[in-house]
Amino acid sequence: NAGVMQNPRHLVRRRGQEARLRCSPMKGHSHVYWYRQLPEEGLKFMVYLQKENIIDESGMPKERFSAEFPKEGPSILRIQQVVRGDSAAYFCASSPWGGRIADTQYFGPGTRLTVL
């Protein structure tokens, strides 16, 4: 069973460009979470999605960031007009159908975004 897949693994963008990060959850998992890890910082929650629904976006910056998890295909985290402060590792995690004890989250390898 393949784990959580993220691509690209490394992404370089110039200031003002757009960044698109993709996440394919583990087979059978319908919950997707995005976290950001800034240098020397722990992981910070950004957004929680189920298929076609945003459940919790309390950690998303108010501007330039958006996320989706369509009925078909991977979840996408989109950053418009990137700035240097967006440089970080972005991790996606997935978990199975919710409501059961210990539906823990399994993480992908991350996308390392560098903004020049």
| Residues making contact with other proteins (CB under 8 A) | 4, 31, 33, 35, 40-45, 48, 56, 58-59, 91, 93, 95, 98-110, 112
Q: How far is the CB of 116 from other proteins (least distance, A)?
A: 19
Least distance between other proteins and beta carbon 13 (Å):
19
From the CB of 81, what's the least distance to other proteins, in Å?
26
Minimum gap (Å) between residue 102 Cβ and other proteins: 6
Q: What is the DSSP string of 18-58?
A: -EEEEEEPPTT--EEEEEEE-TTS-EEEEEEEETTEEEE-T
User: Which lies closer to other proteins via its Cβ, residue 17 or residue 50?
Assistant: 50
Cβ atoms 69, 75 nearer than 8 A: yes
Q: Which is nearer to other proteins, 48 or 79 (CB)?
A: 48
Q: Three-state secondary structure along 61-77?
A: CCCCEEEECCCCCCEEE
Residue 84 neighbours by CB distance under 10 Å: 9
- Residue 49 vs 82, nearer CB to other proteins: 49
**What backbone phi and psi angles, to 5 degrees, belong to 58?**
-65, -20
